[in-house]
Each structure stands twice: as structure tokens, then as C-alpha cells.
Structure 1
Amino acid sequence: GSNDEANVISDNEVDSDNDEVDSDNDEANVISDDDNGSNDDDVDEEEEEVNESEEEDEEEDYGNNEVDNEDNIEDPFVSHLKYDLSLELLNSISNKVYDKQQAQWTTLGQLIIQIPKVEKDAQNSTKTLLGQNEIYATPHALPSVKEIDVEKCFVKSQLHNNIDRALFKHCQLDAFTPLQTELFSVINSYQDLFYPERTFNNAEQIRFVYCLHAVNHSLKTRLKVIHHNARLTDRFDIPDEFRDQGLVRPKVLIVAPFKDSALRIVRMITSILLSDASKANVINKKRFYDEFTGDDGCLPRKNPHPTDFEKTFVGNTEDTFKVGLSITKKSLKLYADFYSSDIIIASPLGLRMIIGAEGEKNREYDFLASIELVILDQTELFLMQNWDHVLHVMDHLHLQPKQTHGTDFARVRSWAVNGWTKYYRQTLVFSSLLLPPITALFSKKCSNYEGKVQVLNPKLTGTISRIVVKLPQVFHRIYCTSPLEAVEERFNTFVTKILPQYKPEIMNHTLIYVPSYFDYIRIRNYMKREDMSFVQICEYSKDNLIARARDLFFHAEKHFLLYSERFHFFRRIRVRGIRHIVFYEPPQFPHFYSEMINFMQEANQYRHEDGGSADNISVSVLYTKYDLAALSAIVTTPRASAMLLNDNPVQMFTTGE
């Protein structure tokens, strides 16, 4: 199937890294990339530096009576992790019984808030055990907007002086924006968040907020362990109050699509964590910059790509990477072994290659057992890379470790021993698009007992307004009762009702636009069986075949061009000679809808008597009720909702002057 092909392609794309991957066989190598032969001495020295630094931190921290008391129950970090779940709350989360509410915030707009539903008396219940009252975890109430006051928000004191400088350096801001304030208000309450309105303009603001949260969480975790280590040096017993760890050390997983994304994250973390980034003790910094910087590729100047393409594919766009970060108060180590890391930054493919598949020998996923914070940024790009990799990673979080990895079980939090870590994990999802697979992941794979918040605003401007060509666009509704039925009904409608209308003699130059690769393969096989006149272009097509397909289509030597959305995403070519487009499904990227239609301008047409008249142009779109989000982005939410309520299955829009 397409997954095998996708994996083959992915492997080919990372041939240059095969030496590194091949050497990743034993456990340490698989997850550290730190054994460089010639650099062994340097690495040893660096390890000593970190250990000394941690010891200094221990002494200094333990001697300091800091303002930010690590056991202050008002600190959301403390209250989120301190208590076990009651049976009632556990049942509510397991069965996804939520109290659903809406809120309207000034900047984020409409919030859909889901808090696990527990009866009041059960939620506040205590139980008597050996004469002691046990307090249970309680979900936070509805989030409220709080100004980012670093002390009141319980940001670790050593970060206070770094934040303003880092904010100006990376975001060119003198103060937090209303967007950052509202995002942090949700994030710092430890509730899950899905924010589908990421743009090129707010990307750095968002990145700064989640990096601050990730550093703050990691530092609190680390320093609590170090404080407890110091207090336990003269004790033989370990009371329950010293349970401060998970089954393994890594606590934060940040998933990003490209090395350039990881580079920006590491730069930001460095600035937030360390007071002077230029003099800071960042171990393996040169190696990291050598591997994660890079040119922007050879973007053509003659026919430049659209601006959004150039902004997406900026810097090093390699999609196979993984790096562990070990943090202390005064240093940051890059390329730390995963089991010595606090934060892991990786791409879906980078993680997939470590995790492996069932039956493979050198699989490794214990490092994901105690993740307490997952951040998915630029999530819509994962759909274009390989969404299965993301689901595979999510399915391998919090599994029972195969080895102990030196864990002191007397220090492991009781809820982690119970296998409840997934109910304490906070997940932050940032995307530029609201799409069903991302919504499904947020709904099905996130079970935080604190609840979840989704930003869901109506689309009041559709990309249809960007179309400059005057032509009718006909939207065909397909009736179905389930997503599975939608797949079959869409195909049946396409082959029985739509395709027969496109006769070569009257509807030449027809492009069939297909978002899903599975659908693409199915249509291709059907057209081959029916011996139709067509050429095809998808993300796996070779350059010479792409050029030939474009030429045959432009000169009307082939009737249909079967065209995949993923190809358009990665290549963004200008297709010439289109007179008719059938959108098998609304594009996932809504601006591709107007972009493809605008290719139909007369300047791009084949000037020949068989080319068709300027008036003979059309667009057809197939949609179901499950395409509401994509449809809304094209025609606006009010129009899309009205289309789904209308009894007439065919709706027409006309654009252009």
C-alpha cells in the first residue's frame, strides 16, 4: 500500500544519513548519537562539566531558600502532579465523560472547553487509609486569562531575568502580546490545547510560549529531584513525599517537521534558560549548528514559488532528526543520551525510525514512558509528510518499559507506577489548519485529567474570494452516514456520475485533484482498467515523467491529468492548459483551491483550435458532511453550514468579474 511506498521514499530521502542510522543499533547509540570516535575525550570532558554543574546547582539550590517554593500547592505544576486520581475521575476520563462549555476570549476567540465530569462530592472526596486522609487530584476549573507575571505564574526565578531579553531577541517584542498571554493562561493551567490558527506572523510568538512552558516544566522537575537527593543523603528510608519521578527521565517531547524548526526551538530554549546565550555553557553546540543549519535549497528565481512555500521550506528542511536536551540551571547539553535527557526534540520520521515496528529487532520506545508534556508544532505539515508516523509515536507513549534504566522505584510517583501517566500528560497542538485527522488525534489520543481546550472560530473569509477567473464552480454533496461510507460513496459518485460527463470531445484538459494518496491510487487503478486517456503526477513521480505528463496534458494529447495534493504541496509547480478541474475532495490546504483555479487564466492555455473556447471552463467539487472544516475555509463557515442544511445536493458559485 501507500505506507510501504511512503516508507521507501522516506528512506531514499535520508540516504545521506544512513551511516548515522546504521550505527544506531545498540540502545545507547540508537538514542544518543553521541559516540563520535575522535571526539570521545571532548565528550567525557563535557559530561564532567555537566555533572559538576548539576552538583553545584544542588548545593546552591539547596542552600537557597527560593521565593518559588517547590511544594506550593498554588503552583499549577505542583497541583497537577502531586495527587493520585480518584476512581470517579479515572472512570470519567477513561470513558471520555466531559462537561462541555464554551467561552469567548478577546484574542483567541471562541473556546470549546471540556473538563472531565465528576460529581461534586466525589471530586472532593477523601478516603481514610491507616488513619490518614488522602487528597485526590482535581481538574482545574475553566481557564481564565491571567497576565504573564513571572512570579504569579510560578515561572522559576532563574528564568525571570532572561525572559524579556529572549522575547525581544526572538519575537522583537518588548512585552507579551495578548495572543501569548491568552495561550499561556491555558497552557500554564496544564490543560490540553488545540490551536488551529498558527500563521507565519504569529509562529515565533507561539513557539516562545511553549518553549517557556517546556523549560519551566523541565527545570521544576529537575530541581525537585536534586533538592530531594540532597535531603535524602543521610536517610535510609524514602518517605512517599519524596516520590518525584517517572519511570524514565525524559519529560518533554517536542515534535517538529524540519531541522530548521528544531534549530529555532533550541535557540529559543537556550535564550530562555541561560542568561547570556553567547557565553552560555551549551555543550555540543557546534555540532548541532553544523547539522541543523543549512541553505534554503535552490529556490528558482525565474518562476519563483509563492511566498507561503518559501516561508514553509526555509532553512534546513531535512525531516529525519532527533536530539536530546539535558538541562541544568547553568548549562544545556545537546545530543544527550535520551535516558539522560529532559527534553527530546524530533521529527515524526526520526522517532519512527527509533521506535520501529512490531517484529523488528532493535526497537526502542522506553524513553517515551514518562513524557508529561507533548508539543506538536506545524502539525498540518505532518499530514503532508506521513501522518501514520505521528499516530505511531502517540501509540508508543507511556508503554511499560522493557528495562528499568536505573530507576529508583521508591522515588517514582504512585500514579506513574499505576500506569496512569497518560492521564497526567499535557498535549499542545499547534496547526495552521483545522483538519479531521488532527481533530481526531486531539479527541482520541489526549486524556489529560485537567481537560482540554480547543480554539474554534468560524471562517468568515474564504479562499474562494481570491479567485480571479470568471467561471462557475459546482459543489456536489455526497450523502453518507459514516466516514467509512463516505469513502465508498465518494468513489461511486465520481465514477458513475462525474467522470461520464467529461467526454474528451467537449471537456478536454481536465485535471482531477486528489488530496488523499489512497484515493489517488484507487482512481488511477480504475482509469487504467477502463483504458482512459490520462497522465498522472504524484509525490513519487520522477522528474522526467512529470515533464512528459505536463507536456502531454498541455497539448491535449491526454484527456485527464490525475494530480495529488502532496505533490503540489512539495513542488508547487504552475500547471498550464487546465480548462476543467474536478476536486475529488476539498483541498486540505484551502489556498490551493484558489491557486489551482487561477491557473486556468487564458495566459496559461494551449492556443490551438482543439484547445477549447475561453468560455468552456468549469470546476466541480465533491464534498460530504465530514468535509465541513475544509469547505468552510474555502466558502466561509456560514455558507458551508447552509450548504449542508440545504436539501439541494448541488450548489453553484460564480467568481471573477
Structure 2
Amino acid sequence: KSVDEDNVDHEISDELDPFAKHLLYELNDSLLRSVSSTPMDVNNFNEDWPYAGTITIQIPKCIEQMQEKKESTIIEVKSFAPAGCIPKRIHLSKDTLDTLCIKSQIISNLAKSNSSLTNKEKSIPLTPLQAELFSIINNYQDLYYPQRNFDNGEEIRYAYCLHTINHILKTRNKVVHHNVRLSKKEDVPEEFRDQGLVRPKVLIVVPFKNAAFKIIQFLINILITEDKGNVINKNRFLEDFTGNELIMPKKNPKPEDYELTFAGNSSDDFKIGITVTKKSLKLYADFYSSDIIIASPLGLRYTIGAEGEADRDYDFLASIELLIFDQAEIFLMQNWDHVIHIMKHMHLQPKKAHGTDFSRVRTWSLNGWAKYYRQTLIFSSFALPEINAVFNKHCANYAGKVKVIQKITYGSIRQVYVQLPHVFQKIGANSVEQRDALMKQTLIYVSSYFDYVKIRNYFKKEDISFVQICEYSKSGKIARARDMFFHGDAHFLLYTERHHFFNRIKIKGIRHLIFYQPPTFPNFYYEICNFMQETNMNKKIGSMSNMTVTVLYTKYDAQQLAGIVGTDRATKMLQSEKDVHLLVTDGD
């Protein structure tokens, strides 16, 4: 054996390894028909897991198919990709790391690198939640988990970082092993096809540099043992991805979730390529030499560009095998169009060869089937229709998909401590209703910037007394708008959700509150309502006994409505023949 051959791990057999079972084989005709139909032809299953909760599983239908080729007296049997299966839950007390098919070179690093663990002596160094998530992730199925929060965020991040490194090391091992064997052959046999059209295999999309910083720290800690590895360009990385922190005010402090969201470097324009070798990570690698790309939606949008731009580039998305969106709800506050733009440019035919050895490219990749092999993982703090749409329309993994169902018992309205009537008004999904709100000091909270522009233009046309605060407003105009609203010099204040997300200012003087649509973030509902407490009022105007909250909603706002009033009540409100529902918070 050569030295190179000795350096290749052979400990995981292809028959047992989920990685090999998912990527090595072509789809049979039955499975291809199921995944390529719209909607996908699937079998549905439901399970209740102790930590992940209720999960729905969709497995594309497949009729087993074996193909035989007769050549003289030799029968060659072609194997096809196995049909997806219900994920088997990892039992921390029964299973071992060997059964999870984790690469041996990183096993010794896991307990030390997993900061979420309380007990470092476990046979499987994962928390119960990580074990359940990894049960799905390691089964190479798509996952939508809408229950991420500040308590479990690091657990989730570690789980997908472990999967990322494990996936890249297995890919590298396969390629190196084949290189050694091919050095003794003239032709490239079919079984040595082990690559995509381009090199990048993992794309992780996160909103801020601080999130990327934490991911790369996990990747380093999982891959590299102290004093036994190398991180190239580490100092440049530390300089780029730390610092630039927001200064949080001590007087009138921001809410805790704001401080946690914007901790560290909150720049939203970045991208970084990473090359993985057996004992090193090279940061700032050229995209076409990278195994992993970590980027923000904005950073990717600048690279992908728009039609007609000469220097646009999206070939690097052609062979992504693992796509991860973390903190996906924040993308809606940045620009959701960037996410859609990314999805529309996945797996397109590359415009350049990028040094590809086509004799080593997998047949299913040449066939244009890469989207059926890509695994997509989406993590968000709550379920939203825009994220659901991406998961349903742009994720077609032949192994199936798993969605965690978020059932909300009470909703954020329980945290309103001001005595208020809350009127929920259902409106037709296709109608635009201009409400007759001739009341002073009415704040209109608008989730969509496009709705904000429509209302603003209508108010200007009708010469209605109003001021406005949006994400593009300058500080001087914001101060003037707040002052005029508090003193009753303007009847209405138009206020966008995106401005609130990025600034979290306190608005005083609200006597009437209209949500043009239920807020995307359920905690914003009670936060804005609680601005209406007596200490924030201009006592020279109006009365505390005449205050109202009105929420306009349609059938498409089911998930946001559930975040406010709870899943069961939202379902009843949407199914009711009544269009108006009154809830009252008692102020206790």
C-alpha cells in the first residue's frame, strides 16, 4: 500500500452509511416520477418525539426496481437509490457513535467541542434534542424546524456543523481513495464517479457575521484537535468577523431578544469559502476550490447578480448537496427576495467548466437531477408561510422531508399587561380594506413595506393627517414624527415592522393600534400593545378608557395569528362564519 492509501479511512461500509446510500445510486423510474411530479407523490406519516415534538414525514412513493443487463452469460444487476424511510430516533442510552457512521477522526473531538452538553461522558456526546435532530439530518432528509430559540440555538448550530464536517470528510475520503486506485488504471470505471459539476457541496446561509463566526468556530473545534491541525487565514477571519458591535443603551435598554439577536458583528453583507482537508481548514478559499460556503442572503445576491450583468456568477450553486438556512425568520426582515433569488439559481447548468473532470462526475448530476439529491435544513423561531412555501416548492429530496409542527398553546397575547379590547377582523383575501379610523393617536403597524407604501400614498392622496417611520427614515425625521404623534399633531403614525426589528424604539402616546396584518414576530404584538400603558400617555389628549387594538387578518395569516392567540383559537377564528372576534386583556 502507498502512504496515501494508508491515509484513507475505510471503516464505514457503503451498505450501512447513510451518506453512501443517499449519493451513490441513480433514481429508478418510479422514484423519479414521484419526486418530479407537482406536487410530489408522497406517503404521509406522523410521529411524536419527546424533544422535537410532533413531526410530519413525507416519503416519495417508490416501487422497487432492479434492472438486469444480459451480456452473453453474465448478468449485471444495477442497483438504484433506496426509497426514503421514516427516521429512526437515536437513543442516547442504547446507540453508539459507530451506529451513527460518524468519521473516526472527529469522534474524539465531539464531547469537548459540544458546548451544549452538560454530561461530557455520554457514549453519544449529543443532547437529547441534538440526538433527535441528528436522527433526521443523518438520514439525509429535508428538515424544517420552526422552534429555534435563544436557549436551543447553539444545540441546533452544533448538530448541523457536525453533519457538515462528517459529510465533507466522507466526500473527501471517497475522492482520495478513488484517486489512489485510479492511478493504477487507464480508464475511469463507472463506480469511480464521485463528484459534482463544481466543487462546493455545502451552503450555509445565516443573517449576520456573528452567526457565521460561531459556525466556523464549531467547524474548527469539531475537525481539529488542539495542536494537531491548522486553520489558514485565521487572523484575517477574526479581524473580519468580530468587532463592529452595536452599543446597547443602558438608559432605556432594548428588549433582551434584541440584544441577543444583534450581539457580536451584525453586518449582513458577507461570504466566505472554506476548503477542508484531513487536518486543516482553509478560510477565504476561492468558491470553486471550496467545500463549504457560508454567506448572508445579501452577500450571495451580490455574487449571483441579475440578468444582463457581465460579472454575475452562480455556477458555484450547481452541485450543492447540503443547503442550510438558519435563523430564517430574520431573512424576512432583511430581504426575502434574496432567498427566492438564491433558490431560483440552484442547480443550473454551469456556464464554465471550472476544471471539472467529467469522467468523475456522478451520472445523476449529469442528468440534471441534483435537486432531488440535495438535502435542505431550515431552522426558524416560528412557522411562517414564506418559509413554508420555500420548503414545499423548492425542496424535492428523494429521501423525503420532515416538518416539525409548532403547536402554540396560548400565544403572545397572554403577555399584554394593559387592559385593552383586541378586535380581530377577518377580511377577504383578495380585497384591500381602507378602515375608517378617525381617532387621534392611531399607530398603524405594517408588516410589508409594499403595504406601507400603498397606505402612505393613499393618505397623501386623501390629505390625511399622518407621520411615518420606516426602515429608510433618518433619525431627525423619526424624532419629529414621534414628537408630533405624542402631542396629537398628527392623527396617524405609519410604522413598519422592519424598522421595529432593527431599532426597537419605544413609541409613546398610542391610544389606538391597528395591525394591518398580524406581526411576523409574535413577541412584537405584546411589545407594541404594552406601549399603551398609562405612563407612556399624553394625559392632555384623550382618555385611558377609550383605547383599542384592531388586527386585520386573512386566511393566509394562520401561522402569525396562531403566534398571537394560540393554535386552537386561531383555527376556530379562521373557520368561524363570523368575521369579527373580540378578546380582552385585563391588565393583570
TM range (shorter): over 0.9
Q: Secondary structure at the match of 2:250?
A: coil
Within 5 A, what are the aligned runs for 1:334-349?
334-349=283-298
Contact 2:318 2:347 in 1 (8 A): yes
Within 5 A, what are the aligned runs for 1:396-407?
396-407=345-356
Which AA in structure 2 matches 1:630?
Q
Contact 1:260 1:315 in 2 (8 A): yes
1:602 aligns with 2:517: no
Residue 280 of structure 1: CA displacement? 3.1
Q: CA RMSD in A?
A: 1.5
Q: Which residue of 2 aligns with 1:15?
A: none
1:176 aligns with 2:126: yes
Contact 2:8 2:173 in 1 (8 A): no
Q: Which residue of 2 aligns with 1:238?
A: 188
1:620 aligns with 2:567: no
1:533 corresponds to which of 440, 445, 465: 465
Question: Taking structure 1 as reference, are residues 127 and 472 closer, same or farther at Cα in structure 2, changes over 3 Å only?
Answer: farther
Within 5 A, what are the aligned runs for 1:169-568?
174=120, 175-276=125-226, 280-480=229-429, 485=430, 489=431, 491=432, 493=433, 495=434, 498=435, 500=436, 502-503=437-438, 507-568=439-500
Residue 457 of structure 1: CA displacement? 2.9
Distance 2:127 2:194 in 1: 34
Q: Which residue of 1 aligns with 2:23?
A: 81
Which AA in structure 2 matches 1:63?
D
Q: Which residue of 2 aligns with 1:93?
A: 35
Residue 171 of structure 1: CA displacement? 5.4
1:49-105 Cα shifts (integer Å, max 9, x gaps): xxxxxxxxx965621574523x52210000000110112211111111111121111
Q: Secondary structure at the match of 2:100?
A: coil
Question: Taking structure 1 as reference, are residues 173 and 439 closer, same or farther at Cα in structure 2, changes over 3 Å only?
Answer: farther
1:286-312 Cα shifts (integer Å, max 9, x gaps): 000000011532111111100000000
Distance 2:574 2:342 in 1: 35
Residue 234 of structure 1: CA displacement? 2.2
Contact 1:124 1:138 in 2 (8 A): no
Residue 123 of structure 1: CA displacement? 2.6
1:128 aligns with 2:77: no
Q: Which residue of 1 aligns with 2:103?
A: 156
Q: Secondary structure at the match of 2:203?
A: strand
Q: Secondary structure at the match of 2:272?
A: strand
1:582 aligns with 2:519: no
Q: Percent identity?
A: 54
Residue 172 of structure 1: CA displacement? 5.6
TM-score by length of 1: 0.86
Contact 1:467 1:594 in 2 (8 A): yes
Distance 2:318 2:139 in 1: 23
Distance 1:129 1:321 in 2: 54
Distance 2:266 2:351 in 1: 34
Which AA in structure 1 matches 2:289?
S
Distance 2:70 2:26 in 1: 14
Within 5 A, what are the aligned runs for 1:43-122?
60=3, 62-63=5-6, 66=9, 68-69=11-12, 71-95=13-37, 96-118=40-62, 122=63
Distance 1:391 1:66 in 2: 39
1:372-413 Cα shifts (integer Å, max 9, x gaps): 000100111111001111111111111101111111111111
Residue 146 of structure 1: CA displacement? 1.6
Distance 1:361 1:594 in 2: 48
1:216-260 Cα shifts (integer Å, max 9, x gaps): 000110111111111111211110111100011110000111110
Question: Taking structure 1 as reference, are residues 59 and 390 closer, same or farther at Cα in structure 2, changes over 3 Å only?
Answer: farther
Contact 1:167 1:173 in 2 (8 A): no
Distance 2:117 2:52 in 1: 19
Residue 136 of structure 1: CA displacement? 1.4
Distance 1:79 1:393 in 2: 28
1:543-580 Cα shifts (integer Å, max 9, x gaps): 11111111110100000000100000000000000000
Residue 273 of structure 1: CA displacement? 0.5
Question: Taking structure 1 as reference, are residues 59 and 457 closer, same or farther at Cα in structure 2, changes over 3 Å only?
Answer: farther
Bigger proportion of residues as helix: 1
TM-score by length of 2: 0.96
Q: Secondary structure at the match of 1:428?
A: strand
Distance 1:64 1:332 in 2: 17
Distance 2:450 2:4 in 1: 56
Which AA in structure 1 matches 2:200?
P
Structure 2 runs not aligned, ≥5 long: none
Would you say how many aligned residue pairs link Structure 1 and Structure 2?
A: 575
1:166 aligns with 2:107: no
Distance 1:548 1:365 in 2: 44
Q: Secondary structure at the match of 1:123?
A: coil
Residue 479 of structure 1: CA displacement? 3.2
Residue 129 of structure 1: CA displacement? 6.5
1:509-568 Cα shifts (integer Å, max 9, x gaps): 000000011111111111111110000111011111111111110100000000100000
1:316-336 Cα shifts (integer Å, max 9, x gaps): 000111111101111110001
Residue 419 of structure 1: CA displacement? 0.8
